[in-house]
Structure formats: structure tokens, C-alpha cells
Copies of this chain bind each other. A is one copy, B any other.
Amino acid sequence: MNSGLVDKILGGDARAVARAISKVEDGVKGASDLMKQIFSHTGSGLVIGITGAPGAGKSSLVDKLALLYRQQGERVGIVAVDPSSPFSGGAILGDRIRMQTLGLDSGVFIRSMATRGNLGGLARSTVDAVSILDAAGYGKIIIETVGVGQDEVEVVKAADVSVVVLVPGMGDDIQAIKAGIMEIGDIFVINKADREGVNSTEKELEALLSLAPREDAWHPPIVKTVATEGKGIQELGAAIESYRDFHLRTQSGEGRRRSIARWRILELLRERLVSQTLESDLASEMLEHLAGEVASRRRDPYSAVEELMRGSQ
């Protein structure tokens, strides 16, 4: 089963990659066989996670970084995580705009991942998609996440290199610290660096970083970019390489890979257990019934879950 598809993926066939990603997006069940077969072929691509607040210009930055890698002869996979619902059209709109810059280049694979329904699994399907691109021989795989929520942070943590994108003027707000993105950045980018306030943002960022030295002794560099004009992209590429070299030299990646694996197992476990519990028609009906009871406060959610777990055994 799947062996034709697996062979095509390992051969770098973009259509097979697209089909495989749809499989892992559709749910944990269909993904299982496929992922088991390709996983041992992963590990050679460099996975770059890019995150930051909406409006920070991440898409432009990702596109320009992809172009840089293309010029270096690398095949590039881009996985954009869209936490919005499938109804918003955000992902589609974003993809369409991208097609103008990168779309006709067969060395670039672009995919937006969106939430599908209530059962979660976006983080799991995103890292699965990255594994598929990795197995297909894409040398650089960029994960772009919109927003800085819990799941998004996890996805970026699962990358080999995490890049946090800021813009001038954010630094003056305590919220920027609270967002919890400071500690996940291996590299910081101040994008839109032609705007006012870039120096004070850089100073504040440096101050924040010096407050929290890292265990691995890496000092996260700050790269200033104007992504729309392609400025600073070379420097960003160089910073990413130097972090990769540091990792290889110090073997500090060991613990990180282990905690990524642990997280990945837990995400998958969560999803499988829930889909196993709810897979029968009876259980789905029971869920709907219980939801009605909880909504009207005739029953509390905890008792409802116990009933659901009893019913599915």
C-alpha cells in the first residue's frame, strides 16, 4: 500500500508530495502507513521556522529567503500554517499572491495548512508535511506561522532553526515580551527596518536577550531586513547557516531533537486517542447529545467526558 506514492515522493515528485500532504491533512489514520514508510528517509533537509505577529511581513521575508536559496541551487519547500478556519480564504489569498513571485518555479513547493474542524491536528499535520518535503529531497524547508499562539510556538520549536520576526515600534510595548516568543528565537529579524524606531527596537531587543542567556551559549543575532526590497536577506541566510554550524559543532541539537520527538509523539497520541474514541457513529451521536446537555447546563463537561469514555469502551 502507498508504495507507488512513497517511491514518487522519494524521487522528488511534486505532485506526489502534494497528494501525500493532503493525506496527512485529512487525518491521522491515512497518514500512518505513509509516514512510517518515509520517516527513515528524513533528516537531511534544514527546517527553518519563521514566526512573528500578523503584519510583521513574514510572507515577504519567506519569499525572499526562498529566492535566495533558489539562487544557491537548493529546492525549497514552504509550509504556511494558517490557524484560521477553512472559511476565511486567508490561505488561498496568500497563495495566490505568492504565485506571482515563486509560483512558476518548479524548485519551490508551497503549501498552506489550515485548521480542519474541531479535532485539531494542525501542528501534527504540519510537521508531517515537513517530513514529506524532507523525504522528497527539499534541502530547505521553511515553516511560516501566522500569530504567536501555543500551537504555533510548538511548530516553530520543532524546526532546526527558529526565526522570530519583529517590526520597529513593537518594542515599546510590554506585550511584546509577554508573547513568549523571545525564548524561542535562534535568530531575530527586525523587518521593515526602513521605518522609524528601528534602533530603539534593536536596543530593547538586545537588552531583553541579555537578560536571558541561553543554556547552549548561543547568542541570537539580530538581522535587520526590508523584505519587500530584498534588503538584509543575504545576512539572514548567513545567520541561519551560522546557527546550523554552531549546532553541528557543539552537538547542542541532541537535546532539542529529543524534545521535538517527545512533543511529536504526544501530539499524535492525543489525536489518535480522540479519533479512536469518537470513530463510531454511536460515539458521534453521543457527543452531539452531550454537547446539548452541557450547553443547557443540565450536565457538566467533566461528567459528559466520563460518559463518552465509558460509552466507547
Contacts and interface: CB of A to CB of B under 8 A. Distances in A.
A270 B278 CA distance: 11
Interface size, A (range) = 35 or more
B36 A308 contact: no
A226 to B, nearest CB: 14
Interface string A39-55: 11011000000000111
Interface stretch (A1-9, A66-74, A116-124, A217-225): A116-124
A58 interface: yes
Contacts of A43: 297
Interface in A268-286: 268-270, 272-274, 277
Nearest to A259: B291
B309 A150 contact: no
A177 B90 contact: yes
Contacts of A274: 266, 269-270, 273
A149 interface: yes
A296 B255 CA distance: 11
A145 to B, nearest CB: 8
A301 B265 contact: yes
Q: Is the interface of A mostly helix, strand, loop or mixed?
A: helix
Contact of A178 (B93, B150, B176, B295): B93
A251 interface: no
Contacts of A54: 53, 148, 170, 173, 175-176, 178-179, 181
A232 B265 CA distance: 47
This chain: how many copies in the complex?
2
A302 B31 contact: yes
Contacts of A36: 300, 302-303
Contacts of A148: 54, 83, 146-149
Interface in A108-167: 115, 118-120, 122, 146-153
Question: Which of A258, A274, A302 counts the most chain B CB atoms within 10 A?
Answer: A302
Nearest to A124: B301
Nearest to A97: B174
A180 B288 CA distance: 26
A30 B295 CA distance: 23
A85 to B, nearest CB: 6
A266 B119 contact: yes
B292 A183 contact: no
21 contacts: A53-B55, A54-B175, A55-B169, A83-B153, A84-B179, A93-B177, A122-B150, A146-B148, A146-B178, A147-B149, A147-B179, A150-B150, A151-B151, A254-B295, A258-B292, A261-B301, A265-B290, A265-B294, A265-B304, A269-B274, A270-B270
